[in-house]
Amino acid sequence: MDSVYRNPTETVEDRIKNLLSLMTLKEKIGQMTQIERSVTTPSAIKDFTIGSVYCAPPNSATAKKEVSSDWADMVDGFQKLALESRLGIPIIYCTDAIHGNNNVYGTTIFPHNVGLGATRDADLVQKIAAATSLELRASGTHYTLAPSVSVCKDPRWGRCYESYSEDTEIVQNMTSYVSGLQGQPPEHYRKGYPFLAGRNKAIACARHFVGDGGTEKGVNEGNTILSYEDLEKIHMAPYVDCIAQGVSTIMVSYSSWNGVKLHGHHFLINDILKEKLGFKGFVISDWEGIDELCQPYGSDYRYCISTSINAGIDMVMVPLRYEQFMEELTSLVQSGEVPMTRIDDAVERILRVKFIAELFEFPLTDRSLLDTVGCKIHRDLAREAVRKSLVLLKNGKEPSKPFIPLNKNAKRILVAGTHANDIGYQCGGWTFTKYGSSGQITIGTTILDAVKEAVGHDTEVIYEKCPSTEFIECNEFSFAIVAIGEAPYAECGGDNKELVIPFNGAGIVDIIADKIPTLVILISGRPLVLEQGLLEKTEALVAAWLPGSEGKGITDVIFGDHDFKGKLPMTWFRRIEQLDEPSEGVNSCDDPLFPLGYGLACNK
């Protein structure tokens, strides 16, 4: 009887029931605990039966650039320790792969979600997720905290680029990312249950439940004030689509709904998500998310634990003080403050995902997948995504005289701007490090590289990051391509009340466009303030979002090999003050500069 859970011919539910009956309370609580790899020791895995290990991105761009084989060696080392524990329950190794396997050097970095939302292409998004799943599994990683299915209602939000759109229907359409990661459920699929199509698929996580894109003034981890009916219609609808596709896990938001923190929200987690929507996978906290239930932060840890677990959180990203967490939760169960039935429900859900992911049968990395990492097929897919995400906002000072497509055989082209030759800026946040950084942080093609490759042999390309008036006057340029935009950021670090183009971007354009016909390529995670002078002086303007590692997708379009397909996933406001004004209709503000769905074709 003890071997039922090890037998893959038995049903998943019978295997869960058998294994659960053999587990001690300590082993059960261990399964509910996710710890960070920096504190992951042999003892933590073997003696505490830790259920999951999370890899936080490096804090510094100067950290060792680990490739996929390095990760696979590390994860397999952890996994072998787990298999040596009393019951041999494998761990789930987890990371934030939100636009490709972005923590690993040399992987394919796809456009961030806001750019994918501009494509409106659900099939493309599914293919991107499938490619990401292969590059994840090649590194030994089983589980990614993606996709974000937030509906961003305010571009001041620091996670705006993690949202596909301000429009709920567009976000719902992009939930195809789930079936790309996990595989397409069959016709006989039991709705609400986690689903994975095989050992080379990755466990998905829909996040952040629920309403994190609707906080007041776009404040990250803020408060969303809405009726339940509006919360359900606007922010919860994408989760219903994810659940229908068999999403295995759902992460709870740091934010609040009508003043109540989501990490302790029994009604939304238990009554709605688990009971009404029928979700059978596991619910996971965010990094130290339960600590936010107490002020000062985490001051009454026992209360934080009891409130969050009783609310329905199954796995807690502790992620560092796991021994204290486990001791406190054990005490809470022994005192009856957390029912044993709640513990068993959480562990059942976690084991269900592990069995469905075939981790008991295939716990170690399939090294044959290493050839997929950063492969040409995946980079070509990313390049396609870039060109389909570009939104042409202006083309020519007169409608009858389009500026794009650009002439590949022009005599001399100026490429300028802070973002023209910087792969780090091009990729944005959550690339190698959490907050991203400038410079050659991964393998890829910058805009400058792409321009040099795209033009004719007789065309001279001159790069000057911030050219002076004197420099421009001393050279005879046919036209200029100027790439400006935001520095990388993430989460609260990206909250921005002003949304002006940094690094004197508008000033750089002003100097160049005053002398040379100019195309501006804006690299950003959201709409930014566009000064009237910038719009009037330039011949063309392209919103390129955060395109990732494949800059050739941009030159594919601006030189006319492909037409512009992208449509705005968010309303482009005229003035920042509009974001605080009530609006009517489909746009997030009235009288926008460019409405939701706007995007020109080249008119070739």
List Cβ neighbours of 447 (8 Å cut-off, separation of 6 or more): 415, 419, 420, 421, 426, 481, 483, 521, 551, 554, 555
Distances (CA, A) of 581 to 112, 155, 374, 575, 576: 28, 14, 45, 11, 10
State whether residue 305 is helix, strand or coil: helix
Two tokens at 376? 């040409």
Give the helix ranges, DSSP H, for 442-563. 447-454, 469-473, 505-513, 532-537, 552-558
Two tokens at 312? 């329905």
Of the residues 491, 495, 550, 556, only one is catalytic, namely 491
Q: Is 491 part of the annotated catalytic residue set?
A: yes
E strands, 160-305, are 205-209, 223-224, 249-252, 256-257, 260-261, 282-284
Of the residues 96, 121, 166, 286, only one is catalytic, namely 286
Q: Is 286 part of the annotated catalytic residue set?
A: yes
- Amino acid code (one letter) for 235: H
Phi-psi map region of 387: left, alpha, beta (phi>0 left; psi -120 to 50 alpha): alpha
Phi, psi dihedral angles at 112 (to 5 degrees)? -65, 165
- Residue 464: which H helix or E strand, with range? strand 460-464
> What angle do the packed helices 340-356 and 12-22 form, to 10 degrees?
130
Residue appearing with tokens 């082209």: 413
Asked if the peptide bond before residue 296 counts as cis, ω within 30 degrees of 0, the response is yes
List Cβ neighbours of 12 (8 Å cut-off, separation of 6 or more): 352, 355, 356
List Cβ neighbours of 491 (8 Å cut-off, separation of 6 or more): 158, 159, 220, 221, 434
Q: Which residues are catalytic?
A: 286, 491
